[in-house]
Amino acid sequence: MKKIILLTFLWLNNSWAANQDQSSTVFMDLDMIYSLGDTDVDIERNIGFLTDRIVRLHKQGLKTVQLAAFSNPDAVNKFYTNVFFPTTHLNEPGDEISFSTPVGQSDSPYSGNIFARTAKAIKAATNGKVEIYAWMPILSYRIKPDSNYYWGVEYVKSDLNSENNDPNRYKRLSPFSPTTWDIVADIYADLAISAGQYIDGIAFHDDGMMSDHEDVSASAVWFYRNVWGYSNATRNSESITTNPQLELAWAVKKAVYINKFTLYMADVSSRFIGYYYDRDVKLKTSRHIYASALLDDRAYTWLGQEPDSLYSDYDSVSIEAYPYMEARFNDSVKNNTRPLCFFTTSPSCMSVNENTFYSQLTSAAKKYDGNLEKTLFIFQTVDWTNYGAQNLPDKSLGGAMLKTLEKGVNHIGWYPDLYFPDTKFPYISGQFEQALNKTR
């Protein structure tokens, strides 16, 4: 009898050990918490809705929240104008975002800092057992006119002679401009000052990208010539790309340079947390990338996301495992337009084979992360390929999660998560619930 009890204990202990390195992560927007005209009472009610959702998910095994600290009211121009914490370079929701509005004018009826207030509520409701990553843009910022740096801002430039400018790409500050380093470091310092006691890591958004026709801004060309030794570099990218070996080396250098940029920002936040809150902390880092970065061996030349360096530089890599988006994304590489599958019924978007996509993506990730210890799959909960953004059925969402877990994926997440009482999704039931339970 004692032997049976001991063996049962060992089996249970080993089962726990087998799962202790698995995890689930929810990716949450804060846009739903604030609407123009909301008061602090409204905000606190809405934060309560989000927190209740986190508590329920935590009971099912949720371990991490990647909480978006930014908003995008200027989606047409593909860069971020608002953040949910106070900073001198960007607006908070409620501040005016139009350049025609007098500088400094704001009609915001609430006290701001939604990010810190939400993160604090999550920590309190879960007794600190849920980790929080501040999900932040890397370069896609529109600096407000009263910033001290406004007139010195330099954006990424595409090849002046190229006809391949992609309107779907983010508008980004040039990482080769010293002013960009100063601006973004200030933003990350302000994040740490406002919410440093509540965050455990930084999740870098997917805007850290660079095509084979970028960056040819003045600062970038100077950098290529004087730092990287490309003496023939000009405002025409063909001065580099006509040499295949030089082109590949250039692409890798740019990808690694963006990594360096992000890690510096994480270090800035860590240092400010240490100074302001007496926390000796080194924030964890995660990098959002497109699935194409793994599925296409040459994608780093036009994405600026190079797998080897990504896996060596970050604590985790968050892969946007969005089959409906990637179908059109890969198909269009042939003509260099590379649009995403937003609001389209293109056959290349609609005919994707989900099982093949996830199987190939899992195999591709294992090339760089054999045991998939640093790989996080982000599953889309919504089909964006049609107007209306329809919720995916459980068999597509939960079923895909279960299948990838069976194939060796250890870390799963999903985006978006809807947390208001009348819009809650995904439903904590069926295969989705089973997948969550497997990551306990």
Distance (Å, whole) CA 252 – CA 422: 47
Whole-number pLDDT of residue 91: 77
288 and 206 in contact (C-beta within 8 Å)? yes
> Which parts of the chain sit beneath pLDDT 50?
1-20, 96-109, 163-164, 328-351
Place of tokens 């010195």: 152
Q: Which domains are delineated in the chain?
A: 31-438 (3.20.20.80)
Distance (Å, whole) CA 398 – CA 433: 7
Would you state the structure tokens that stand for residue 226, as one six-digit string?
Answer: 């004087």
Distance (Å, whole) CA 177 – CA 13: 53
Whole-number pLDDT of residue 335: 39
* Residues 40-88 pLDDT 10s: 888 999 999 999 999 999 999 999 999 999 987 655 566 777 899 999 8
213 and 159 in contact (C-beta within 8 Å)? yes
Whole-number pLDDT of residue 339: 40
β-pairing verdict for 201-204 and 284-290: parallel
User: Model pTM?
Assistant: 0.88
Distance (Å, whole) CA 252 – CA 87: 33
